[in-house]
Chains A and B, each alone.
Chain A
Amino acid sequence: MLALVPWIIAHPGSTKPVIAHRFGISVTQLESDLWLLMMVGVPPYSPGDYIQVDPESDTVEIRLADYFTRPLRLSPAEGLALLAAGRALLAVPGSDTSGPLATALKRLASALEGVDVVVDFGEPTFLGEVRDAGLAGRSIEIEYWAAGRDHLTTRIIDPGPPFFAVGQWYTDAYCHERSDNRMFRLDRIRALHPTDATFTPAADDTSEPPTVFTATPDDISVTLLLPPGAAWVAESTPVDSVEELEGGGQRVVLTVGATAWLERLMLQVGPDARIVEPPELRELPARAAQRVLARYAGLSRTPSAPLA
């Protein structure tokens, strides 16, 4: 509430709806805050001596609010959040690195005694092309590595605006082959070609980005027992549930779309991990390990067949 005062003093005659919108509150809430402010007074003065507001009027003026004319300093969490969000937006490839955001952050960092933070999102090869195609409403043909099925595929997509989540860049795109929207990881696009086809980009909405992983009917639920030290699985993969076990391990339930993905995960976590459910997948890590070992034993030296 105190944040209102300096701005109202600096902008006399602002209407209540404008102020309420600016500070993200309802007009009713604003009026109740203004009544409260009127009651404030410091001994030996009486209420109203310092702050005079007229809550009945459409416009608001505050006079003589000496002690609240300037805003309270930022808390550490507020300073960090503002700086981190600003640095992050500036780190999105394509941002104007000498525009108003950059100068605002310089002022902010100097008010925070020179402390700053560094953000790096990485930049997959085709990020710029995907973003531009999405903005222009131009379909693109991509060679895409479907990690779950361990397959390289070619398809035509209408890309949505790229976004960054769980450490990667994604686009939620309409896939012509599937006649449905699919999530694509931009670092898995191996090649990209423009096409002549066009589409109407979705209206710019301010909703949250789509969920990165959505289950499809073919997906199965898998229960894993993970050893201590494998917490990274639940941190880097969307899981349905995590239960901490005695001794530092975890029981994790997750939804899996394709077995190649699960094989890879189990080989990476290692011999101390177990698939518990469904029973028919319990042998999957051992079989995958045997397949890879066959290669090391020289039993499978021929290069794998060319990918589709």
Chain B
Amino acid sequence: MDRRERLLNLLAALLESRGGLTTDEILSEQSLGYEGPTESARKSFERDKKSLRAMGVPLDQVGSNDEYRYLVDPEAYYLPDLGLTNAEAAALHLAVTAISLGNGAGEAGQGALMKLGGREGDRAQTVAELPIAAALAPVFEATRRRATVRFSYRGERRYVEPWGLSSKRGRWYVVGFDRERAQIRVFRADRIDGTVVLGDDDAFEVPEGFRPEAALADEPWQLGGGEPVPVRVRIDSGRAADLASRAQQTADVEWQPDGGAVVTLAVTNVDGLRSLVLEYLEHAEVLGPPEVRAAIVTWLEAIAAGEATPEINGAIN
């Protein structure tokens, strides 16, 4: 018997059986195509269970150690009817083709379309590339189930209530409550290493009105917590409009007669500010406060000397 055929038969049998089937019952049922309760049939069944679970089939195991019964709860198996109109199905098809989510996720999007009744209407030209990191799907599932997650992030173990997922400037972020640090923290999804381990369901509640996007800083110099420090940057004519438009509502701009400007930024992250100012090479200069200006001079002197030095960094606070 073809393996796919055996899988389908097994799935149908598990969906039909109300109380579940034991391994022996499954292996002995001739129409399921196993060769009886032999060791090799047992191994085939183990492989088939894995395959079904990989397809997303909620295959349950009930009963005691000696005699497990296997079943698939129809309630958990079937997709609730979304009641999509043709126009809505076509819009989802457009979205899946217009947004390139990267290899695995692109296939998952196509798979979802198939389950929702295939491809309605035309495909679209790619409008945006927004790659989804591998860690995002399990975290998404945890968010849906209100389950805590444990993962490794920049070499540290984290224990987090994932409150929401948000994407900004082409990157995906997990925003959540870090239980060990007792603070809301933002994690870049592509920096989560290895396996994401889910805890029990319904382990937390997301505060009413929580918006994950609000936790994401707009610009690198706004990363980090603490009181913002006003930093004054002189920027030359020709580049001033660029900095002024980047900083927009968050900065105070004094235009000068030569076409340059002095821009005052609210800074919570000196590393981010340094990257911003060096973007303009010798056409920009930090005027103050003195400690920020000195930090940038020290940084540049180390580069000018061509010697590796301990990294100079850190938030102002």
Which residues of A come within 8 Å of B, CB atoms? 1-4, 6-7, 10, 19, 21-24, 36-37, 39-43, 46-47, 50, 67-68, 70-82, 84-86, 88-90, 92, 99-101, 103-104, 107-108, 111-113, 115-122, 125, 145, 150, 152, 161, 163-168, 190, 204-209, 227, 229, 235, 260, 263-264, 266-268, 270-272, 283, 285-286, 288-296, 300, 303-304, 306-307
Q: Give the residues in chain B near A7, CB-CB below 8 Å.
A: 117-118
**What are 24 A-B contacts defined by CB distance under 8 Å?**
A22-B118, A42-B31, A43-B31, A70-B78, A71-B117, A73-B79, A74-B56, A78-B109, A80-B108, A82-B112, A85-B99, A88-B130, A100-B87, A117-B166, A165-B128, A190-B242, A264-B278, A268-B275, A272-B311, A288-B281, A296-B297, A300-B282, A303-B258, A306-B237
Q: Give the residues in chain A near B12, CB-CB below 8 Å.
A: 40-42, 50, 67-68
> Contact mask B58-99 → A, CB, 8 Å, 1/0?
100000000000000010111111111101111110111111
Q: Are A74 and B299 in contact (CB under 8 A)?
A: no
Closest B residue to A108 by beta carbon equals: B82
- Within 268-308 of B, Cβ neighbours of A (below 8 Å) are at 274-275, 278-279, 281-283, 285, 293, 296-297, 299-308
Q: Are B300 and A292 in contact (CB under 8 A)?
A: yes
Q: Give the residues in chain A near B130, CB-CB below 8 Å.
A: 84, 88, 119, 164
Q: How far is A152 from B77 in the complex, measured between Cα atoms in Å?
A: 59
Closest A residue to B123 by beta carbon equals: A206
Q: Give the residues in chain A near B126, CB-CB below 8 Å.
A: 163, 206-209
Question: 4 tightest CB-CB pairs across the interface, nearest first?
Answer: A167-B170, A271-B302, A75-B56, A22-B118
Q: How far is A39 from B31 in the complex, measured between Cα atoms in Å?
A: 10
B182 at the interface (CB under 8 A from A): no
Q: How far is A107 from B108 in the complex, measured between Cα atoms in Å?
A: 19
Q: Give the residues in chain A near B297, CB-CB below 8 Å.
A: 293, 296
Q: Give the residues in chain B near A115, CB-CB below 8 Å.
A: 140, 143-144
Residue from the list B56, B92, B128 in contact with A88, Cβ < 8 A: B128
Q: Are B293 and A117 in contact (CB under 8 A)?
A: no
Q: Is the interface of A mostly helix, strand, loop or mixed?
A: mixed
Residue from the list A1, A3, A19, A112 in contact with B144, Cβ < 8 A: A112
Q: How far is A227 from B96 in the complex, measured between Cα atoms in Å?
A: 38
B38 at the interface (CB under 8 A from A): no
B190 at the interface (CB under 8 A from A): yes
Q: Are A89 and B99 in contact (CB under 8 A)?
A: yes
Closest A residue to B216 by beta carbon equals: A120
Q: Are B128 and A75 in contact (CB under 8 A)?
A: no
A264 and B31 contact, Cβ closer than 8 Å, known pairs A89-B94, A292-B300: no
* Nearest-Cβ distance from residue B207 to partner chain A, whole angstroms: 14
Q: How far is A291 from B281 in the complex, measured between Cα atoms in Å?
A: 8
* Nearest-Cβ distance from residue A49 to partner chain B, whole angstroms: 10
Q: Are A286 and B305 in contact (CB under 8 A)?
A: yes
The winner among B130, B285, B293 for most chain A CB atoms within 10 A is B130
Q: Are B115 and A71 in contact (CB under 8 A)?
A: yes
B57 at the interface (CB under 8 A from A): yes
* Nearest-Cβ distance from residue B116 to partner chain A, whole angstroms: 7
Q: How far is A43 from B48 in the complex, measured between Cα atoms in Å?
A: 18
Residue from the list B91, B129, B144 in contact with A104, Cβ < 8 A: B91
A286 and B303 contact, Cβ closer than 8 Å, known pairs A42-B13, A89-B94, A119-B130: yes
B114 at the interface (CB under 8 A from A): yes
Q: How far is A267 from B306 in the complex, measured between Cα atoms in Å?
A: 11
